[in-house]
């Protein structure tokens, strides 16, 4: 089930070992009362927003909801994902994201981050223009 409460923010923060400062919004997936994956949207910059991702299983229904939220409700043209986790890079690739660069030492000494851009026009899950779920 899709959830949008503070438990998602805590989950993403714990799994990424990062503290987040408001304003942010969250969308996550809950199974049997437990958050299993989440997306935290922050650093809102006009038509772009940073998205932090945590979890391992990303249901199709959630990925459709993420596209609707980002591209229809928030009216973004792109989402910027910054990660060092291979499974998040794989997810970004599956939804149409493109690796755009490296932030050296972003996650600490010797821990580089990959910057991935996900454009509305390239998002691989159906997003209907002007329709909100």
Task: Give the pLDDT confidence of 65-99 residue by residue, as tens digits.
Answer: 999 999 999 999 999 999 999 999 999 999 999 99
The pTM score is 0.89
The residues, any chain, with a CB within 8 Å of residue 36's CB and separated by 6 or more, are: 28, 29, 30, 55, 56, 57
Q: How far is CA 114 from CA 3, 64, 107, 120, 132, in A?
A: 27, 24, 10, 20, 30
Range 2-122 classified under CATH 3.40.630.30: yes
């Amino acid at each position: 089930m899709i959830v949008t409460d503070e438990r998602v923010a805590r989950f993403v923060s714990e799994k990424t070992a990062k503290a987040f400062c408001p304003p942010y919004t969250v969308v996550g997936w809950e199974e049997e009362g437990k958050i299993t994956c989440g997306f935290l949207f922050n650093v809102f910059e006009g038509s772009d927003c940073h998205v932090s991702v945590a979890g391992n299983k990303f249901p199709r229904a959630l990925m459709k909801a993420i596209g609707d939220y980002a591209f229809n409700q928030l009216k973004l043209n792109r989402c910027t994902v910054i990660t060092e986790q291979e499974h998040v890079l794989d997810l970004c690739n599956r939804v149409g994201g493109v690796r755009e660069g490296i932030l050296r030492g972003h996650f600490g000494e010797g821990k580089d981050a990959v910057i991935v851009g996900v454009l509305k026009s390239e998002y691989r899950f159906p997003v209907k223009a002007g329709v909100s779920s």
